[in-house]
Structure 1
Amino acid sequence: MSFQACIDIGGTFTDCLVSDESGRITLYKAPTTPGQFHKGFIDVLHVAARELGMTAAEFIGRIGIIVHGSTVSTNALVERKVARTAVLVNEGHLDILVLREGPRKGAFEWQLDYPEPYISRNLTMPVRGRIDARGKEIVPFENDDVVAAVRKFRKLGVEAIAVGFLWSVVNPAHELRARDIIHREWPEVAVTLSHEINPMPREYKRIIAAVIDASISPIVSTYIKALEGALTAEGFGGQLLLANCVGGMMPVPDMIKRPIYSVMSGPTLAPMAALALTEEPDVIVGDMGGTTFDVSALRNHQLIVTPDSMIHDDSLGIPKVDVRSVGAGGGSIASVDQGGLLHVGPRSAGAWPGPACYGNGNEDATVTDANVVLGIIDPDFFLGGRIKLDRKLAEAAVQRIADRLGIDLLPAAHAIHTTSNHNMVAAIEEITIREGINPRESYFVCGGGATPCHIADMADILQLKRYMIPRYVAGLSAFGGLISDIRWEQSGVAPTDSKRFDPDAVNAMLDRLQAEGERFLEGAGIPKAQRQYEFSFMGRYEYQSWEISVDFNRDKPISHDDLPKLVEDFHKMHERIYSIRADKDVVEFITWKVRAIGHRPEQNLYREFRFEPQKTAPVQKARRALYLHERGDAVDVPVFDGQTIGAGASFTGPCLIETPTFTAMLKDGHRAQTDEYGNFLVEVA
């Protein structure tokens, strides 16, 4: 029997989801190993092998595909532990990375200094030469400036170089010449060109993307090579695919070529899972792990892609699946400030020492400790009993918070629990309302082992009518990776507008981009029958500052006959996002994008495995005291074993449903029923 696996490295646990040829999927977990992520990667494969009754070599040798969501590049950027990088820009434009896009984020913070640029001024060097907006050379390129800059960079210990010149998206000749000179002078240094990594007209976003890509290139390359070496030593001979930030997978050579697409890639897998799990049009996806709560959404059953992701004070530059994160995980630490106000997060106990109940020396109360005190989590059945939690240590930690607040133990634990819930609700409201999605009318898909402990309260706060607790909720991102497509996307600049529409220029750009996508899928080994292409444009009303993304169909070349539909699609999307439309205004089309998708035959395997129908009422495995705030006390509620439940099983709250990887709490008025794949579908009365 052969296997496929997806490994997702989280802040506390590393998840490994394994599927076999029958479509049966099993989740395994091992502690994350910060600083040596490839060690935790191999550790969780060993855990899976033991559970399957095989040796590690036997199991790993049978794996055909491993897909992996890496956090290495994201951590490097967040911690500013990147390669020493320099950048070449046009003469007279040394402040592109200082001034960014001009406006300050706080409109009324008029005394705020500009934050430090991503690349310091002494590593930003000017080059004489200019291309204008029509692609014409108006100032000759000076080769000697590049030579002098490279020699200076070598003396300063630079490890990577980015090149970003004005209007290189129209005529890249100067950037290409700069790269040739750099490689001639210094063949081994990593070089990123802005027009290749992010072809768009806005200088800052194009150049910051090039700089970030260059700065993480040595780090990502080193990590991938170490991981491939560790897998080879374990006997792995299959294909390794890496998650990207546009909601899919890339082969290793393509990720090494464009490492910026690995940034924040892991959290994008959760909405990919939601795409497969439900056909609902508007979906909220909440993934609560040990350190953070990641929230994303589907609009019209499509991924929402944002061009405005931030790393500290800098834009990431490239579009990515819109995922927002807040410090609200199971390990988030509770504290009381001098004014007596309770805070939960963003500081986290992390994988080590972990919550107080882990017994590793942490004495601060965390969300997990509060859930143990409330009776939601059974300390003897955490991870199916593999990890024993200490209830007394949890109570001692929460009691310190209770003493600071001047309340009893159980209300203090509930205060920690509900404060975390409100932090997560605020993140949900931001991403939904901002994107024209009504959370009350949306379907919620839970992700992360901690979310089922909290979703009932959040559903009441958000006034949700329905939500889903997937069978693989504790490894939702890994599940998304297991069933994800191969994805690639690229954009190109072909400005036109609704008054002077130029279909020839648009078609030439789309044909070129689609041909590039065709070459990518060919290199990834995707058969033609499994290839798909999606199209979108970035548009705006005339004189607007910012564009929005609009999808469109293209089964034949675009003509003037298609213009009314393109314009109307823009009006509708603008109205959905901003609640207004201006039908008489000129619509400008700036950037065109092609997304190449390669469908993997393995992705629908999980639908081949269906659960047997539940023929009798679910049997209680135990009863447990559960604190319910609305009743003001702990209530004895039934506990059900989620592993023994078949399709069609029904549960009415208040109750608890336990599996080795998650515990779900249902409140009064919440009724759950399992579907044929073992997912819990909950309706709120």
Structure 2
Amino acid sequence: MAYQVCIDIGGTFTDCLVSNSKGEIAIFKSPTTPGEFEKGFIDVLHVAAEGYGLTPADFMKQVDLIVHGSTVSTNALVERKTVKVGLILTEGHQDILVLREGPRKGAFQWRLDYPDPYVPRHLTRTVGGRIDARGRELVALSLDDIGKAAADFRALGVEAVAVGLLWSVVNPAHELAVRDLLERELPGIPITLSHEINPMPREYKRIIAAAIDASINPIVRTYIEKLKTALDDERFGGELLLANCVGGMMPLADMIRKPIYSVMSGPTLAPMAALALSDEPDIIVGDMGGTTFDVSALRDHQIIVTPDSMIHDDSLGIPKVDVRSVGAGGGSIAFVDEGGLLRVGPRSAGARPGPACYGKGGTEPTVTDANVVLGIVDPDYFLGGKMQLRRDLAEAAVGSIAARLGVSLHEAAYAIYTTSNHNMVAAIEEITVREGINPRDSFFVCGGGATAIHIAEMADILSLKRYMIPRFMAGLSAFGGLISDIRNEESAVFLTSSATFDAAGAADTLRRLRRTGDGFLAEAGVAAENRQFEFAFLGRYEYQSFEIEVPFEAEGGMLTDDDLPGLVEAFHRMHERIYSIRADNDVVEFTAWKLRAIGKRSGQDIWQRNTLADQAGDVAPKAKRGVYRQESGRVDELPVYEMGDLGAGVRLAGPCLVEAETFTAYLKDRHHGEIDRYGNLVVAVA
């Protein structure tokens, strides 16, 4: 038997989704091991081996592919545990990371201190030399300045260097020369050049990307080396691919060259899964795990890629699949603030010690504890009964909230439950309403182990009409990784406009991008017939400050003057979709061109090869369980169905519970579910 595996490390559990050559898919979970993620990675592989009745050695011999979504770089950035970075900029422009893009965030928060730059001033050096916007050398590069910067960095104990010089995207000669000299002066120190990591015209976005990439380079490299050593010890002889933040996979060598693409890579896999699971045009994807609730959206059945992702007060710089996160996971801690108001998150109990009901030392009330008190989660059937929960500890933790608020235990638990729901609804509205998507007309796909518990109330608040609880909901991101393509994104600056459109120059830029994309896919071992290319441009109306990304068709990367009306109309439509206005008589400026190189992997349709048989006869619940319902203000006995016992075509009417080994779904009044032929529960709200 041949197996393919995807491992996604979450804040509380590490998910492992395994498919075999028969098209059968199984999900396994193991506690995450903060600080030693490679240990949790191997632990969950051992759990999978046990699930198949194999020894770890026999199982690993039969695994030919592992894909992995890493949180190492994200955690380093969020926790501010990156390495010491030295930054080299053009003389006279040492404040690029201080000034950012000009406008301050929160313009009316006049008491807000201006945030510190990502690289502090004492680690920033400037060098003489100047390239202009047309790529001409105006001032020769000062080799003495580079030598002095290297000496200073050596004395300061710098562990990585980022280089960002003006207009290096047009002529990179000076940046390349800086690297050549630094490699001689600072052997073994990784160096990131801005024109290579993010070839965009905006200095701040380009240079912040280089600084972030440099700051996590040794961390990501060390993690990959540890992971590879651990897999070698397990005698793994197959292929290992890592998830990137543009919704696909990259070989190890490419991730080591561009570690910034590992940031937020795990959550980007959930929308890729939704893309395969549904043909709906507008889809919202909610992935609620132990620490966060990650929400993303598909517009016109296309992944939304944003250039504006933030890490604390700084832009990430590079484009990534648009995923927003809030601290609303199963482990999010509830507390009463000084004003007597209940709050939930963003602080989390994490994997250690975890919610109080885990019995591992946690005492503070969490969302999971509230769900146990409400009766939604069965303490005896958590992870299919493999992990016993302590109801008494959950009640003690939630009881502290009840005492502070002066309400009953059930009322306090429901208050935690609904407060968490409203936190998630706010995140959903942020990525839909503000991005030109009406949630009422969208299809919702649930991901993560806890979303199906909360989706019914969120659907009522948002007026959603339909949502899906996938069969592998608890490992949706891992499922996305299992079926994702190999992907890479390349971009290049070429400025032209609808008034003086240079079709030949644009076409030449696209051809260069196509050659680079072809090279990436060839290096990744993708056959020519499995290579696909998608094109987009960054455009704006003349005198606008910021661009938007617009996809377009270009057969083989060819563009002619005849394509201009189509490009302009595509820009107008996208601008209207996002901002509700279009200016048909305004000049459209094209600032940069992008290519996504996609390598189709074999076996991506394996999940569709096994379909459920139609249900024979009526379905009876396996049990009944008391659940506190706010609608009635009391504990009601609700039917409980076992997901694995339901055949295709089964219809369920809420209120009821549907349990699987890795999740529980709570259907409320007016929510009617039906099992589709792939085993997913599709729910319509009457």
Deviations 1:283-322 (A, max 9, x none): 0000000000000000000011111111111111000000
Give 2:538's aligned residue: 538
Query: What secondary structure is seen at the aligned counterpart in 2 of 1:631?
Result: coil
Give 1:650's aligned residue: 651
Give 1:419's aligned residue: 419
Question: Does structure 1 residue 563 correspond to structure 2 residue 580?
Answer: no
Following TM superposition, by how much is the alpha carbon of 1:593 offset from its aligned partner in structure 2, in angstroms?
Answer: 0.1
- Within-5 A mapping of 1:4-23: 4-23=4-23
- Within-5 A mapping of 1:133-172: 133-172=133-172
- Within-5 A mapping of 1:512-527: 512-527=512-527
Give 1:599's aligned residue: 600
Following TM superposition, by how much is the alpha carbon of 1:403 offset from its aligned partner in structure 2, in angstroms?
Answer: 1.3
Instruction: Flag structure 1 segments of 5+ consecutive residues without an equivalent.
Output: none
Following TM superposition, by how much is the alpha carbon of 1:422 offset from its aligned partner in structure 2, in angstroms?
Answer: 0.3
Cα-Cα RMSD: 0.8
Give 1:499's aligned residue: 499
Give 1:224's aligned residue: 224
Query: What secondary structure is seen at the aligned counterpart in 1 of 2:267?
Result: helix
The one-letter amino acid paired with 1:631 is: S
Give 2:583's aligned residue: 582
Give 1:99's aligned residue: 99
Give 2:189's aligned residue: 189
- Within-5 A mapping of 1:198-209: 198-209=198-209
Give 1:608's aligned residue: 609
Of 368-377 and 612-621, the range deviating more from structure 2:
612-621
Give 1:57's aligned residue: 57
Question: Does structure 1 residue 108 correspond to structure 2 residue 108?
Answer: yes
Paired residues of 1:617 and 1:650 also in contact (CA < 8 A): no
Following TM superposition, by how much is the alpha carbon of 1:185 offset from its aligned partner in structure 2, in angstroms?
Answer: 2.0
Deviations 1:344-374 (A, max 9, x none): 1111111111111111222211111111111
- CA–CA distance in 2 between the matches of 1:654 and 1:442? 23
Instruction: Flag structure 2 segments of 5+ consecutive residues without an equivalent.
Output: none
- CA–CA distance in 2 between the matches of 1:111 and 1:328? 28
Question: Does structure 1 residue 628 correspond to structure 2 residue 620?
Answer: no
- CA–CA distance in 2 between the matches of 1:96 and 1:111? 23
Query: What secondary structure is seen at the aligned counterpart in 2 of 1:592?
Result: strand
Following TM superposition, by how much is the alpha carbon of 1:121 offset from its aligned partner in structure 2, in angstroms?
Answer: 1.2
Give 1:679's aligned residue: 680
The alignment-based identity, stated in percent, is 67
Give 1:487's aligned residue: 487
- CA–CA distance in 2 between the matches of 1:659 and 1:491? 44
Give 1:320's aligned residue: 320
- CA–CA distance in 1 between the matches of 2:409 and 2:219? 46
- CA–CA distance in 1 between the matches of 2:651 and 2:612? 14
- CA–CA distance in 1 between the matches of 2:340 and 2:638? 33
The structure-2 alpha-carbon separation of the partners of 1:345 and 1:113, relative to structure 1 and needing over 3 Å to count, comes to closer
The one-letter amino acid paired with 2:226 is: A
- CA–CA distance in 2 between the matches of 1:450 and 1:576? 32
Query: What secondary structure is seen at the aligned counterpart in 1 of 2:272?
Result: helix
- CA–CA distance in 2 between the matches of 1:572 and 1:228? 46
Give 1:639's aligned residue: 640
Query: What secondary structure is seen at the aligned counterpart in 1 of 2:268?
Result: helix
The one-letter amino acid paired with 1:629 is: Q
Question: Does structure 1 residue 667 correspond to structure 2 residue 668?
Answer: yes
The one-letter amino acid paired with 1:659 is: A
- CA–CA distance in 1 between the matches of 2:214 and 2:98? 18
The one-letter amino acid paired with 2:344 is: V
Of 483-492 and 181-190, the range deviating more from structure 2:
181-190
Give 2:399's aligned residue: 399
Question: Does structure 1 residue 345 correspond to structure 2 residue 338?
Answer: no
Of 632-641 and 586-595, the range deviating more from structure 2:
632-641
Give 1:617's aligned residue: 618
TM-score (norm 2): 0.99
Following TM superposition, by how much is the alpha carbon of 1:189 offset from its aligned partner in structure 2, in angstroms?
Answer: 1.3
Following TM superposition, by how much is the alpha carbon of 1:510 offset from its aligned partner in structure 2, in angstroms?
Answer: 0.5
Query: What secondary structure is seen at the aligned counterpart in 1 of 2:519?
Result: helix
- CA–CA distance in 1 between the matches of 2:170 and 2:217? 26
Query: What secondary structure is seen at the aligned counterpart in 2 of 1:630?
Result: coil
Give 1:510's aligned residue: 510
- CA–CA distance in 1 between the matches of 2:408 and 2:263? 44
Following TM superposition, by how much is the alpha carbon of 1:184 offset from its aligned partner in structure 2, in angstroms?
Answer: 2.1
The structure-2 alpha-carbon separation of the partners of 1:171 and 1:304, relative to structure 1 and needing over 3 Å to count, comes to same
Deviations 1:452-481 (A, max 9, x none): 100011000000000000000000000000
The one-letter amino acid paired with 2:354 is: G
Following TM superposition, by how much is the alpha carbon of 1:631 offset from its aligned partner in structure 2, in angstroms?
Answer: 1.6
Paired residues of 1:402 and 1:409 also in contact (CA < 8 A): yes
Following TM superposition, by how much is the alpha carbon of 1:111 offset from its aligned partner in structure 2, in angstroms?
Answer: 5.1
TM-score (norm 1): 0.99
The one-letter amino acid paired with 1:634 is: V
Deviations 1:652-684 (A, max 9, x none): 111101111000011111111111110000000
Give 1:88's aligned residue: 88
The one-letter amino acid paired with 2:335 is: S
The structure-2 alpha-carbon separation of the partners of 1:362 and 1:528, relative to structure 1 and needing over 3 Å to count, comes to same
Following TM superposition, by how much is the alpha carbon of 1:339 offset from its aligned partner in structure 2, in angstroms?
Answer: 2.1
Paired residues of 1:542 and 1:587 also in contact (CA < 8 A): yes
Give 2:214's aligned residue: 214
- CA–CA distance in 2 between the matches of 1:423 and 1:116? 28
* Paired residues, number: 685
Give 2:457's aligned residue: 457
